[in-house]
Structures are given as C-alpha cells and as structure tokens.
Amino acid sequence: MKDRVSFPLQEGEYARQAHCDLPAGSFEREIGKDGFFGPASHMYHRHPPTGWSQWDGPLRPRALDTNRLPTPGPSPWDAAPLLYNERLSLRLWCCRTAMDHLVRNGDGDDCLFVHRGRGVLFCDYGRLPFREGDYLVLPRATSWRIEPAEPVTLLMIEATHGSYRLADRGPAGRHAIFDPGVLDHPHLDDEFARQAEAPGEWQVRLKARGQLNTITYPFNPLDAIGWKGDLTVLRLNWRDIRPLMSHRYHLPPSAHSTWVADDFVICTFVPRPMESDPGALKVPFFHNNDDYDEVIFYHQGNFFSRDNIDAGMITWHPCGFTHGPHPKALAAGNQASRRETDEVAVMIDSRQPLHLAELPPGVENTDYVHSWQGATQAT
C-alpha cells in the first residue's frame, strides 16, 4: 500500500472534515480500503445510502439469534461453526456441568468470550477463574477444561493456523485502551494440584486439521509442577478496557481494537460518553468496508446503532455494500438525545470472506435486510 498515489480531490459540496459538519440535508458515506487504515473518500448523498427498497442475492446483511440454536453436546467440539473461512471460525458453546475430559485445538489459537456465567478454567498452565465478560486467550494446542459455577455460554473465536497478539496502539502508547498489567494468567495453586492427583483415566479430545482425535491417559495430564516462559493463557475483562474517545469526532471501530490475528481483528465496544460537539456525528457513519467482512456479537446493553437486536445475537455484513446506523438510531443521533452508550459488543473484522453454515430454521432473522427501511431525515 506504500506505493499508492495519494492526493486530495474535492467535487461539489463536501465537509471539510470527515464525520463533522456535513452539508445541510446530506448523508455521508465513507469508502475505504484496508479496513479504516487505507485510502478513503467521503461521499455526500441526498438519500440514506442504506435506503434500498428491495434486495435480491446472497450477499445480504444477516442477523443470527444464537439464543435459538439447539443446545450443543458436552464438548466444545460439539458446537458447529457458525461463520468460518481458512483463517477464522466462530462457534457458540454452552457448558452446564464440569467437563469430564480435556480438549486441545491443534488448528490455531482460541479466544473465548464469556457471554454468560462464571467458573474455573483448568489448563496446562494452571488454574484461572473467569466470569461474564472475560476474554480467555488460549495458545494453540493448550489442553483445557472448565468447571462452571453457573451455566456458561462461550463465543469461541478460532484463529485458524494463526496466533493472537495485542493491537498496536500507535501514538496512544502501549498502555492505552488497557494496560497489559491488567492481563491475568493461570496459577499452579493448591486447587490445581488437587485436581491433578485425582486417579483414573483422562481423555484429551484433540481437534487438528478439522478432525477429532481422542488421546487416553491413565492419569490427568494437567499435572504440571512448574513452568517458565512468555507463552500462556491470558484473561481480560471488558470492564478493564478504557476506550479511546473524542468529544469532537466519531472514532472508527479500529480505535477499539483488542486482539489481532492473521487476516482478522477483534474489537470491543464498551460504554463511553457520546460525542458532545454539535457538528460531530453521534452514531457510526455509513461506510463501505470493501476489504473486510464485519461481524458483531452483541453481549449486553442497548445497541445504539441497531434496531431490534438483542443480547446473544450476531450480525454479519459481508464486504461490498454500504451499511451503517438504522433509521431510529440515526434520528436519535441527530437529536443528540443520549449522553453516553451502554452497549458491550465484540466485533470481528475478517480480511477473507466468511461462509455461513447451514443453520436450523428460526436462527436467522431473514427480515434483517429490510431493517434500514423507513423515513430518515438528514441533519
């Protein structure tokens, strides 16, 4: 991208600054490359860019209600992928009782987001309690199991053939968003030692190259007495994220990047003050993200840019079409009726196109593509 020719051009009526002080009666649309990092242009339209009256074809935006999925089996590998490609796989798994076996992912790192519940993770590196709102990042081929204190629902994000790393904070510095000091790791405590001493056979169910292998041991292989190094399981709760914000400018989703993997990024939207400058947009801008598929998992709160979206739902916007706030959200933003957001959501932006699994009837809201219809007035 370094060799691109870049120079500013202007035609007709336009805003001097993106996302601020739009021409009267206009709707702004950002056309961008490389997510929100590459060359971009801003169009100013008379009508909402999402104001289509009909949609034919498979590229449509989709909304999935994971609350309607059938209950999977007792192993994480019983949960089938919902969205997937060669670099990324999304599953939703529920655990109600202590796992009687270990699992190991030989296909890539796992990022587990705890949507509901709390419990304890036992893994090669030790014991780690967790609760609702935690990210648990497990290096590839880590053996693990959980003992829930209450029913647990996990969004499982696999970095297929890849690893997770922290996002580059740029000029904000490495302590921005969250200080690495808030990251927790497992410990070899007394409870870990006790579980390792329990007699009997243990199975490790290894997923590798998309196939399952069952490895049986005459002892519990989670029996480490010590370890050292800089590779381990990590825990981060969304409540420890302190988002970048500007009272005069609506920041793009990339400002909320949490974890980075090969060909995709995970962002976290957490409560923050709304923009207070009269000329600044108060909701996400209409945009074409023509190099990435955008997926959002809605965890909790009032999702200010969406209508009829509840906790536990997933939206998927394949690359190649314009999307943005729903009409009610846009109207509320224009009226500046809210002072802060209260949503918590996990966004996954995938460089490679995603595929949708065959889902049971009722999981997809097929009317979602029509949810942008309705009268909307520009500022």
Residues 198 and 343 in one domain: no
pLDDT of 305 reads 60
How many domains is the chain partitioned into structurally?
2
For residues 139 and 104, the answer to whether their CB atoms sit within 8 Å is no
Which of 19, 42, 250, 317 is flagged as catalytic?
A: 250
Residue 136: which domain range?
74-238
Residues 318 and 284 in one domain: yes
Q: Break the chain down into helix, strand, coil percent, rounded to 5.
A: 10, 35, 50
Q: What is the pLDDT of residues 53-111, one digit of tens each?
A: 899 998 899 999 999 999 999 999 999 999 999 999 999 999 999 999 999 999 999 99
Q: Of 176, 203, 238, which closes a domain?
A: 238
Residue 68 lies in a domain: no
Give the residue from 238, 273, 297 where a domain finishes: 238
Inter-residue contact 221 to 254 (CB < 8 Å): no
pLDDT value, residue 161: 96
User: Taking the model in full, what pTM does it have?
Assistant: 0.92
Residue 191: inside a domain: yes
**CA–CA separation, 334 vs 278, rounded Å?**
9
| Nearest by Cα to 354 from 298, 297, 293 | 293
Q: What is the pLDDT of residue 304?
A: 63
Together in a domain, 224 and 202? yes
323 belongs to an annotated ligand binding site = yes
User: What confidence score (pLDDT) does residue 3 get?
Assistant: 57
Is 247 a residue of the active site?
A: no
Q: Tell me the longest C-alpha to C-alpha distance in the chain.
A: 77
Flag residues of the chain having pLDDT under 70. Answer: 1-6, 304-307, 329, 331-337, 374-379
Residues 55 and 117 occupy one common structural domain: no
Q: Looking at 238, 266, 298, which one is the last position of a domain? A: 238
Residue 2's pLDDT is 54
Residue 110 assigned to a binding site = no
Q: What is the CATH number of the domain that holds 84?
A: 2.60.120.10
- Retrieve residue 236's tokens: 């981060």
Q: Residue 18: inside a domain, yes or no?
A: no
| 153: nearest Cα among 261, 300, 33, 36 | 300
176 shares its domain with 307: no
287 known member of a binding site? yes
